[in-house]
Chain A
Amino acid sequence: MMTRDDLNALLPFHANGTLAGAERAALDAALETDADLRADLAALCAIRDTMQAEETQSPGELGLARLMRDVEAESRTDMAPTAANDNVVPIARLRIWQVAAALVLAVGLGLNMMPDAGRAPDMDAEMSEAPAAAEQGFALASGGAADFTVIFAPDATEAAIRALLLEAGVEITSGPSALGLYGLGLLESGRDDAARSVLAASEIIDDLQ
């Protein structure tokens, strides 16, 4: 026999439609005779509807691009020692290698955060000679080549970017690079000229190549 507290605890699961079996039957029976329970259920349904109607601005495609970049980087880190040591890597040595890689990465990040700090006089020249390496960032899992390279406006929201990508029939295939460049690839259904005109007309695209 369920107590009134038991029934009250189950009400939210009646409101979200997940209650079943004997518990649902017992609660339905109580609802037929208890006006207070019915009022509580109505309120809970209204709360649920209100919560479900709330809009959420999630990271979306930008978050996916970040995820793919880090997955790619992690995969490269995992594969490098194996290739270099013919599949036989002592654990202690692997750890030292990983620590060294982390230090190199940390120094690299530090340099990125402070562009002028510690830069050799000819480093700018080297970067200009190898723009692909400096700006490439990462490639999406699809491995698709970028048909366009863009820079989004600094105040572009994820929702606006998502809507633009859908409208143009493209997806982010790489980026962000250190310079904020994103590569966009045409979806199977997309057409180059149509996509280009949509991107060119957009207010959230600062630069289109």
Chain B
Amino acid sequence: MDNDHKFLMTRIAGGDRQALAALYRALERPVYRFITSRLNDPHEANDILHEVFMDVWRSADRFEGRSKVQTWIFGIAYRKSIDVMRKRGRMDLTDETFEIVDDSPDAATCLAAGQEAEHVRHCLETLKDDHKSAITLAFYQDMTYGEIAEVAGVPEGTIKTRIFHAKKLLMRCLSGRVERGVA
């Protein structure tokens, strides 16, 4: 798959618009889903998606092929989303996390209790952006922690830490909703 994407990138760098259309069709949905998960605004996500692929068109000749094309494009989407959140003034740029006691009963029980999607969606929204991004890339896109680190431009250890905290908070939120009987 990535070889196909790299082939398309070479063509795009040479000015081939058909190749750009093919790459867009291959990746617009996952990239859009990632942007939406961060911005929570479909209209704004629409514009950012457009800007991402305009950047792909303008800078395809700078893609060196050392990473996956998908990782490179998600990196562009990640940075553009951060710009939007900074403008909104609600960007939390630290990795500080409150220590929590993992007293969850059994989160799997929660997910067997029905309305899984609503619970997961709600609990994802309670996470800080960098935690949510890491989980989103891991579970929507099935990326390795190395790839997520590349997208976010941070060391792999930082991603492991974010995933560790995100997992704890997610499990706790899900279990809490079951205990409270949230429908």
Are the CB atoms of A47 and B50 closer together than 8 Å?
Answer: no
Are the CB atoms of B108 and A12 closer together than 8 Å?
Answer: no
Are the CB atoms of A50 and B120 closer together than 8 Å?
Answer: yes
Cβ–Cβ < 8 Å partners of A71 in chain B: 17, 20, 54, 57
Cβ–Cβ < 8 Å partners of A43 in chain B: 106-108, 110-111, 171, 174
Contact of A8 among B36, B139, B164 (CB under 8 A): B164
B-contact 0/1 string along A46-58, CB 8 Å cutoff: 1110111110111
Contact A18/B144 with A60-B28, A67-B50 known, Cβ cut-off 8 Å: yes
Judge whether A11 is part of the interface by a CB distance below 8 angstroms.
yes
Which residue of the partner chain A has the closest CB to B112?
A46
Are the CB atoms of B20 and A53 closer together than 8 Å?
Answer: no
Contact A39/B140 with A51-B120, A142-B18 known, Cβ cut-off 8 Å: no
User: Interface residue count for B (Cβ, 8 Å)?
Assistant: 49
Cβ–Cβ < 8 Å partners of B28 in chain A: 58-60, 63-64
Are the CB atoms of B17 and A47 closer together than 8 Å?
Answer: no
Give the interface size bracket for A toward B: 35 or more
Judge whether B135 is part of the interface by a CB distance below 8 angstroms.
yes
Are the CB atoms of A12 and B139 closer together than 8 Å?
Answer: yes
- In terms of DSSP, what is the predominant structure of the interface of chain A? helix
Judge whether A44 is part of the interface by a CB distance below 8 angstroms.
yes
Are the CB atoms of B24 and A67 closer together than 8 Å?
Answer: yes
A58→B34 CA distance, assembly (Å): 11
Are the CB atoms of B140 and A67 closer together than 8 Å?
Answer: no
Cβ–Cβ < 8 Å partners of A50 in chain B: 111, 116-117, 120
Are the CB atoms of B167 and A11 closer together than 8 Å?
Answer: yes
Residues of A116-142 at the interface with B, using a CB-CB cut-off of 8 Å, are: 140-142
Residues of B36-54 at the interface with A, using a CB-CB cut-off of 8 Å, are: 36, 42, 46, 49-50, 53-54
Minimum CB–CB distance from B77 to chain A (whole Å) comes to 13
Judge whether A17 is part of the interface by a CB distance below 8 angstroms.
yes
Using CB atoms and an 8 Å cutoff, list the residues of chain B in contact with chain A: 16-18, 20-21, 24-25, 28-29, 32-33, 36, 42, 46, 49-50, 53-54, 57-58, 106-108, 110-112, 116-117, 120-121, 124, 135-136, 138-140, 142-145, 160-161, 163-164, 167-168, 170-171, 174
Using CB atoms and an 8 Å cutoff, list the residues of chain A in contact with chain B: 5-6, 8-13, 15-19, 39-40, 42-44, 46-48, 50-54, 56-60, 63-64, 66-68, 70-72, 74, 140-142
